[in-house]
Amino acid sequence: MSSSPINLPVVETFHSLQGEGIHGGRSAFFIRLGGCSVGCNWCDTKHSWPAAAHPDTAVVELASAAAFAQQQGAAFVVITGGEPLHHNLEELCKALEAAAPQFPRHLETSGVNPLSGHFNWITLSPKRHNPPTAELLSRCHELKVVVHEAADLSFAQSMAEAANRANNSPALLLQPGWESSDGQRLALEFVRTQPTWRLSLQSHKWLGVR
């Protein structure tokens, strides 16, 4: 990976509630970076894929916006995408640390690239067709697997076992694909019978907010 840039392609920034995962329902400032080559066919942010389509923004500018959101009540900042780890995130994290030192940094990643930057919380959302690195499996705090079909359940279990083998015990979440009735049925039944897993719903979509 190249050295850490002081500008990054940014799709959008916004202050809303975290819709998904363990921290769902909490106030959060989102920085959505452009660029993704993972290629999930059900992706709901395909507009983020071409990095060059999104304006290069100085990391200090992003950090300043995050600090303002913290003053407005955001509990943490979420670096998402696209696939944020396609970029080296060292400079972004340094800028966030300087502008908002007590503002926890969360990362949402598919885990296909090396980890860069420093985060208080890492959500790993692994993809069956492009599995994550052992490093991310060993470092994530939350493993969130999207379910569309039965094969996603065995993949979820294999990812949890791989994290355990790497001496990690992340929180385990299944998230039905949006408007996937099969995904809903499979995830509900799986979680009902597996006490170590919990359901994650995209509450922001149900509410019709970002």
Which chain residues interact with ligand SF4 by CB under 6 A? 36, 38-40, 43, 45, 48, 81-83, 110, 127
Q: What's the token pair of residue 54? A: 């999104």
| CA 94 centroid distance within chain | 19
Q: Residue 43 or 171: which CB sits closer to ligand SF4?
A: 43
Closest contact distance (angstroms) between CB of 125 and ligand SF4 is 7
Q: How far is the CB of 146 from ligand SF4 (least distance, A)?
A: 8
In this structure, are residues 34 and 10 in contact, taking their beta carbons and an 8 Å threshold? yes
Angle, vertex CA 96, rays to CA 93 and CA 97, nearest 5: 85
Question: In this structure, what token pair is assigned to residue 87?
Answer: 């970029």
Strands (E), 110-202: 121-124, 142-147, 171-176, 197-199
Of 70 and 110, nearer to ligand SF4 (C-beta) is: 110
Judged by beta carbon, residue 68 or residue 121, the one nearer ligand SF4 is: 121
CB of 3 to ligand SF4, least distance (A): 23
Q: Which is nearer to ligand SF4, 14 or 98 (CB)?
A: 14
